[in-house]
Amino acid sequence: GAGVSQSPRYKVAKRGQDVALRCDPISGHVSLFWYQQALGQGPEFLTYFQNEAQLDKSGLPSDRFFAERPEGSVSTLKIQRTQQEDSAVYLCASSPLAGGLNTGELFFGEGSRLTVL
């Protein structure tokens, strides 16, 4: 597609359920990022992939959060045993650049809004 695509756009989960959020980056983009945006806040970094390699996962809030990008394109963010504090918009972004000098923009998807009841 022309832009970054995320699915589902909206997800309601009961506390304790596992969820999986998908990101389709722009074709050929090397870098892929996941951000978490709580209500009324700015996005917070979760993790970064360069192709299939997860180079930085320092922002993942707990071991319940797991991300993968096995073939260097589509990525999935998985949250196990969801908690109410996991309620947020999860943004995916991609870039044609790979590390180093960051003068370029990130291309964001519209996000997946997760509500945990």
Partner 1 sequence: AQKITQTQPGMFVQEKEAVTLDCTYDTSDQSYGLFWYKQPSSGEMIFLIYQGSYDEQNATEGRYSLNFQKARKSANLVISASQLGDSAMYFCAMSPYSGTYKYIFGTGTRLKVLA
Report the nearest approach of partner 1 to the CB of residue 81 (Å). 26
Task: Determine the Cα–Cα distance for residues 106 and 35; give it in Å rounded to an integer.
Answer: 12
Report the nearest approach of partner 1 to the CB of residue 112 (Å). 9
Which residues are near partner 1 by CB under 8 A? Answer: 31, 33, 35, 40-45, 48, 50, 55-56, 58-59, 89, 91, 93, 95, 99-111, 113
Task: Determine the Cα–Cα distance for residues 104 and 84; give it in Å rounded to an integer.
Answer: 35
Nearer to partner 1, 70 or 100 (CB): 100
3-class state of residue 59 by DSSP: coil
Q: What are phi and psi of 57, to 5 degrees?
A: -125, 25
Nearer to partner 1, 23 or 91 (CB): 91
Nearer to partner 1, 59 or 80 (CB): 59
Report the nearest approach of partner 1 to the CB of residue 32 (Å). 10
Burial (Cβ within 10 Å: 0-12, 13-18, ≥19) of residue 64: middle
